[in-house]
Chain A
Amino acid sequence: MKRSRKSIIAMLSILFIGSSLMSACSSQNTTPPKSGAQLWGENCIRCHNAPPPSAFSDDQWEIVAMHMKVRANLNSHETSEIVDFLQMAN
């Protein structure tokens, strides 16, 4: 029971800290939209090394991107920007 209480307290603490950070940081929305290259660099490495654009063909990138969109919870705009960058750069 003690372990469970500690876990719940830890969970709530992390959520509270995260929420506070988000609210503190989201007071102003002045950042321009991110480029496909930036989104590629920032999101892929959350789990694995970022693949080089030459890793797949244009058609293959369409499939890979859709797979990663679901797995990494990306939205359609972000996915489209990343695919455009990879297809242009490969």
Chain B
Amino acid sequence: MKTVAMLLMVLSISAFGQDYTELMNKVNRAKPGDSQFLLRGYAHSGFEQFGESSSFVGGSFNPIFLWRQSDKLLFEAELELEFEHGGTALALEYANMAYQLTDNLTVRAGMFLLPFGTFSERLHPRWINRLPSSPLGFGHDPVGPMRDLGIELRGNAKLGNRSLTYSIYTTNGPSLNTSADHDLEEAEAGMLNYQNQEDNNANKALGGRLAIFPFSKPSLELGLSGQFAKVGNHETDYEETMANLYALDFSYVNNLTFLKGVIDLKGQLNSINVDEAAYFSDEDSAFYTFENQSQVSYIQAAFRPAYLRNAFVQKLELVGRYSQLATPEGSHWETNQDQFTIGLNYWLDWRSVLKIAYQVRGGGDADPHAEEEASDHGDESSDNAILIHWAFGF
């Protein structure tokens, strides 16, 4: 009897040992290594009506790749895949590595979204932007730099209970379109081109942003950005032409208990100042010049009654935005426009939203910067538009 009991015990231990080994193998296979990878991103599509023309638009998909190599090292990259002109367009939004130097200071190198104001760096993704369109001059071909190749130091500092954030960077910088440049249209003379894979001169742009949070709760943020660079091509008459770019931004986001909701106010002003230069007009066979200053701005207010008891109403959000665009008088790309947009959003979850908006644009001729601002398709010269978009973050 004792022998049988011993035998059963040995068999049980053996079986348990096998189960334990299999279990440990499964655990070891699932155990993460030092490298951690995450795929995030967003997508959108919609319907737009400009005047009498209408179209389904969008179909864009922006995957974001994140590699966390260690506690200090991160690589981030974003692609944009978009259905455009009957084909699929692929663009690199950014690709850079960040290394944490200290608890408060990080260095980034590669192609990164520039901290020139906040819209381009933080607010432009479709699931974050509260309206289906971007403000005038803040779209994919913006009046002001959006992304560039270079190196950046960024961090924060505490002043008592308050804080400030800072960023300083050097990049290739913008280049100046001139009528002497045969690759470009004469109409663009004096305009800055911000998409430079290689620098057009030996001078590097120097820029940065300083933001202050005046209160202990970071509900209010006030930011000042600048970027300074020589923008003319090497060994041309324009080589010493300087561009001084400034941006002012503010953000106020807070829970308003008496209104049982969240208020979100945002605004930004970009001021682009380029030294005066003479450009050749083929049409008149003569040089002409103008005061080369452009300005774009927007102010936006959103309110979401997130703390009301009604489950449907708490997912609604009302948004209004006013934006302005003014390019140099006397240039071939002169325009002066403003735009008012009002919208209603329904949040399906924290990162998926259905956006409906009515947009009125006034003043000026066709906006040379607005190819993708208000829509991906449609007749943008029409004043009024109905925009219905669906954005999905993941």
A contacts with B: majority SS: helix
Q: B220 to chain A: closest CB distance in Å?
A: 8
Cα-based distance from A47 to B253 in the complex (angstroms): 9
- The answer to whether the Cβ of B326 comes within 8 Å of any Cβ in the partner chain is yes
Cα-based distance from A47 to B155 in the complex (angstroms): 18
B351's partner among A11, A29, A42, A51 (CB-CB below 8 A) is A51
A/B pair count, beta carbons within 8 Å:
132
What residues of A have a CB within 8 angstroms of the CB of B118 in the complex?
47
Residues A46 and B253 in contact in the complex (CB < 8 Å), given A3-B293, A25-B214, A75-B104: yes
A73's partner among B167, B269, B295 (CB-CB below 8 A) is B167
Residue interface mask B217-232, A partner, CB < 8 A = 1: 1110110100000000
B214's partner among A21, A27, A31 (CB-CB below 8 A) is A21
A46–B221 touching, CB < 8 Å = yes
Question: Restricting to B92-106, which residues have a CB under 8 Å from any CB of A?
Answer: 98, 100, 103-104, 106
- The answer to whether the Cβ of B141 comes within 8 Å of any Cβ in the partner chain is no
Residue interface mask B31-69, A partner, CB < 8 A = 1: 010001110100000000000000000000000001010
Residues A7 and B246 in contact in the complex (CB < 8 Å), given A49-B351, A51-B351, A70-B108: yes
Question: Restricting to B154-168, which residues have a CB under 8 Å from any CB of A?
Answer: 154-156, 158-162, 164-167
Residues A63 and B66 in contact in the complex (CB < 8 Å), given A45-B253, A70-B154: yes
- The answer to whether the Cβ of A84 comes within 8 Å of any Cβ in the partner chain is no
Cα-based distance from A42 to B36 in the complex (angstroms): 27
Residue interface mask B130-163, A partner, CB < 8 A = 1: 0000000000000000000000001110111110
B224's partner among A11, A27, A28, A69 (CB-CB below 8 A) is A11
New contact pairs (17) apart from A10-B269, A15-B222, A51-B350, CB-CB < 8 Å: A3-B271, A11-B246, A14-B248, A14-B250, A21-B214, A25-B214, A25-B216, A29-B160, A31-B161, A45-B262, A45-B264, A47-B128, A48-B128, A48-B393, A73-B154, A73-B156, A76-B100
What are the nearest 6 A-B pairs in CB distance? A26-B160, A21-B214, A73-B165, A76-B103, A7-B271, A49-B350
Q: Which residues of A contact B (CB under 8 A)?
A: 1, 3-4, 7-8, 10-11, 14-15, 17-19, 21-22, 25-29, 31, 42-43, 45-52, 55, 59-60, 62-64, 66-67, 69-77
